[in-house]
Structure 1
């Protein structure tokens, strides 16, 4: 029979329990990155004792080159400053990271549905475990790539919104009588957490690949081809 049979027992085994963990870690990964918005406050100290303040507000997907730092023809420190934007674009790495997390979230839900309702079909077929193993191994590799890319992209965001990054971006800050510094930084703790969850997902999916591999015929054929341990060898006929 191939009908749906609800069975919660797989959640007590590594195969099902790890898939539930993968579902949860995927939520934390894209949730901590995809919904982020932060603001840095830049203080400009003019030579005549006047101070100016700029706001650098940025959010996912971190296309910093589209974020205005100074609006067109703004007067700062008695100087007319042309329109200036932040420098950098980490959208590709951020969207790649969130995209992988969403795919993993959806696949983990489908896999849990199969484990809990169609495990009798899953174990009696060759295609199901082999497909599950191949996709699990591929996803583990994707986590390695997207987490590394996003870690580099996040560092680029931090550099572009830091005091040296603002000074190199805003020409006014390079004049002798003007000093610029970021007086208030956006809290990027959730972005740091997203990178941690990215590498945690890598470890979880790589570990899960072993338990899925044990369900494939490759693993069963490997052990069925080995002689039984501790079994006495039959004497050769005389």
Structure 2
């Protein structure tokens, strides 16, 4: 939901603050010969920041002549890349919002929607990172190229001794600084959304549906040990501890019933007689003063 709300807003703020920028610089020139005084030079530049195409006329302070001066640098590639990523991110955010709200069932059908959304989100995260870093570097170069000190060095009249030049108005950089900040905010926003989109894909659901083999083996071994401990007889200690009479008595009674039932069934089905079996009392068998086994004694009498 945060992605649906904030992604279009931050994308608009990023490309609008960069694409709609216009800078203005004004320089005042006072010639030493007093032929021309208080001459103002206005320099305008803006997006896409092809400064090598920006030119202005500057006085030479000699015989009322002027020169044409061009700025240095071409930063259009980084600026246009940044704006293009912002526009595409804005359009995709609007499309994703419409799909989330009105076509949720088709979005989740066959898991294609989440997979496409995941891949596009990863791509936009990387492009936002690249474009923001490139634009931040280009912005720093633009500030250097339009610095009043650098601009005065381009004017021939300002390089001559006796003439005085000064910048009366400098461009405002707050808007471009804001665009760079919004670029990195979009990086954080789109990168954080990768996890939430990944949870909608089949890759995450498959991992949740089929746990790892290590955990399943551990769980099965624990269950096997539990069943074995519940079904096994209690063994005495080496020091011949007390025997649990109650559990053994119940086991002996169940065994008596089973033997009697089997004997009755066999006697009814076969014509020859079977040996009689009956249980004696519980006995212990020793070997070299050590208990080897314990259990009921079975007596067999042949008929």
Q: Normalising TM by the smaller chain, what interval?
A: 0.7 to 0.9
Richer in strand (by share): 2
1:136-147 maps to which residues of 2 (within 5 A)?
136-147=121-132
Paired residue for 1:149?
A: 134
Q: Do the aligned residues in 1 keep the contact of 2:59 with 2:157 (CA within 8 Å)?
A: no
1:82 aligns with 2:71: no
Query: C-alpha root-mean-square deviation of aligned residues, in Å?
Result: 2.3
State the Cα deviation string for residues 145-191 of structure 1 (Å, max 9, x = none): 11111111111221111122202322332222223332211222111
The offset of 1:48, in angstroms, is: 4.0
Q: Which runs of 5+ in 1 are unaligned?
A: 1-15
TM superposition score normalised by structure 2: 0.67
Partner Cα separation in structure 1 for residue 223 and residue 106 of structure 2: 39
Number of residue-to-residue matches in the alignment: 220
For the pair 1:200 / 2:189, whether they are aligned, the reply is no
8 Å contact 1:46–1:178 — kept in the other structure?
Answer: yes
Corresponding position of 1:176: 161
Structure of higher RCO (CA pairs closer than 8 Å, 6+ residues apart) = 1
CA deviation string 1:58-108 (max 9, x = no partner): 1111111111121xxx64423634211111111111111110000000000
How far 1:127 moved relative to its partner?
1.6
CA separation in 1, counterparts of 2:156 and 2:202? 65
Partner of residue 224, structure 2: 235
How far apart, CA to CA, are the structure 1 residues paired with 2:103 and 2:50?
44
Q: Distance in 1 between the 2:191 and 2:43 partners?
A: 39
Task: Give the match for residue 261 of structure 2.
Answer: none
**Runs of at least 5 residues in structure 2 that lack an aligned partner in the other structure:** 229-303
What corresponds to 1:4 in structure 2? none
Pair member with larger Rg = 2
Judge conservation of contact 2:30–2:165 (CA < 8 Å) in 1: yes
- 1:185 aligns to 2:170 (yes or no): yes
Match of 2:99 in 1: 114
Query: How far apart, CA to CA, are the structure 2 residues paired with 1:45 and 1:188?
Result: 27
How far apart in 2 are the matches of 1:192 and 1:153? 11
| Residue 53 to residue 76, structure 1, CA distance change in 2 (3 Å) | farther
Contact 1:52 1:77 in 2 (8 A): no
Partner of 1:129: 114
1:91 to 62, 76, 88: 76
